[in-house]
Amino acid sequence: MKKFLWCFVLLCFGTGLFFCQENLQSSEVTEDTKEKDKETILYGLDDDIIALLDEFTQNQTYFYLDEIFATFERTRSVALRDKIISYFTAAEDNRLKDYALEVLEDPFDTSDSTVSLLFKYVSQLKIEEAAPLARALLENEYMEYFDAALTALSELGTGDDALFLAEYIDREDLTLVQRQSVMKALGRLKAVETWDALVSIVQDEEENSFIRMYAAEAIGAMEKEETVDVLAPIFETKDSLLRASVVKAMGYYPQNETAKAIIIEGIRDSHYKVRLEGIAAAKEHSMTDAAPYIFYRAKNDPETSVKYAAYDALVALNYEEGVEYLQTQLKNTNFSDAAKVEIAKAFIKYNNGSGINVVIEVARETLKDDKKKNLRYALGKLFASYENASFADICKEYLASADVATVGTGLDMYAKNKFPSVTAEVEKIAADEKSGVNKNKAQKILDRE
């Protein structure tokens, strides 16, 4: 109870929830479970350790880092080493920093998979000392490391690195894919020093369409106001992918009236990829003027992917008429279950209270009808993916089901939220020999409390 109150106090200060969760995850694991996990990490088979790390990663919990690091130092298994690198990347833990820098300085005796993961590691942890190492590999034309080194340099590099990368633009020995990667890297670096060169590429109608497309996105990311005037005429091109890139680039200028007009026009474009970019840009920048156009797409677009993107955007923008429409469709027996799941996902993702109430109402109806099991499972999976106190009652109802899979889904909800009002039901399942696989699952969840 004290821990619960302490978590609540921290929550009130905004950042405390994360701290509370981490402490609950690390301090409330039973001693038996701790010892078993540590023994697995230190002495277990590689496959067992990998499975345990997969479990931790899935739950976003980062236990026993010292023991895992000790295992990393002794293992000769590439698969296990790579798994540990991925785990420390997700944990954003710097224990592998020295190893990463050592390998990236001389990667030739290390597996390509490990080198690639180490580049992701230094990028995620923003280890700036890795930037010159990535550049050195590019300068010495070790092309087997081109993509990984280029991506890392784009995340960690400086203006000088941008100018260095700009020299690759006209190289004839690069593949089309590599040239595209260079364009993306310059965009991530927001290398304004290369703006003029990229504008020339965007305006060159003889240039490869994909190169022009990524160049357009790159100059957009540089956030130079002149970019709008450069790209506006190009939106009239017949090349739908280039139009999509122009719309995406316009998203960097949400206060510019020309950019806003092109984004809205993109939502009405004949090609679905352009419409997707228009909806994404409008959502990201809270363009309420675009909401009616998105609402129309939600109701009438011939492409399912565009409809689903429109559902998400309507909830994100909190467009009242659109939200009411989506709530109605959730309860519409003639509406597809797949579409209902997408609507539910949006309501839960953006914590839309009235929408969540309808999602719970629909889930409750599925518990009464085994013909709706698939929808029941899908909604339960959504509930289990988010922390929300309002899911406590529906969790309890899932646990009360006679269907084994439904109960398992209810346990997933509980594992994510640890509802105090539901603990007794989980304890009953853990103690019931007739609960089968759910008995062990429930006990494991309780062991980690």
Q: Encode pLDDT of 225-268 as tens digits.
A: 999 999 999 999 999 999 999 999 999 998 999 999 999 999 99
C-alpha distances in Å from residue 228, one per residue of 62, 211, 294: 45, 19, 23
Is 12 a residue whose pLDDT tops 50? no
Q: Dmax of the chain from CA atoms?
A: 72
C-alpha distances in Å from residue 109, one per residue of 103, 131, 445: 9, 20, 42
| CA gap 220, 195 in Å, rounded | 10
* Spatial CA neighbour of 275 closest among 315, 305, 312: 305
Is 14 a residue whose pLDDT tops 70? no
Is 21 a residue whose pLDDT tops 60? no
* Spatial CA neighbour of 122 closest among 107, 139, 142, 144: 107
AA identity, residue 373: K
Is 127 a residue whose pLDDT tops 50? yes
pLDDT band at 27 (very low <50, low <70, confident <90, very high): very low
The encoded tokens of residue 2 equal 């004290």
Is 83 a residue whose pLDDT tops 70? yes
Is 187 a residue whose pLDDT tops 90? no
pLDDT in tens, 324-357: 999 999 999 999 999 999 999 999 999 999 999 9
Supply the DSSP symbol for 170: T
Res 449: pLDDT: 63
Is 10 a residue whose pLDDT tops 50? no
The encoded tokens of residue 343 equal 């609507």
Is 108 a residue whose pLDDT tops 60? yes
Are 397 and 364 contacting, i.e. CB atoms less than 8 angstroms apart?
Answer: yes
Is 207 a residue whose pLDDT tops 50? yes
For the entire predicted model, the pTM comes to: 0.77
- Can you list the alpha helix ranges (DSSP code H) found in 235-352? 240-250, 257-267, 272-284, 291-300, 304-316, 320-330, 337-349
pLDDT band at 13 (very low <50, low <70, confident <90, very high): very low
| CA gap 301, 384 in Å, rounded | 30
Q: How many Å separate Cα 250 from the centre of its chain? A: 23
pLDDT in tens, 29-66: 567 777 888 899 999 999 999 999 998 888 788 889 99
* Spatial CA neighbour of 157 closest among 189, 179, 187, 125: 189
AA identity, residue 272: Y
| CA gap 36, 214 in Å, rounded | 50
35 contact partners, CB below 8 Å, separation of at least 6? none
Burial environment of residue 368 by CB neighbours within 10 A (0 to 12, 13 to 18, 19 or more) = exposed
4 contact partners, CB below 8 Å, separation of at least 6? 420
Quote the Cα angle for 48-49-53, to 5°. Answer: 120
**Above pLDDT 70, what percent of the chain?**
93
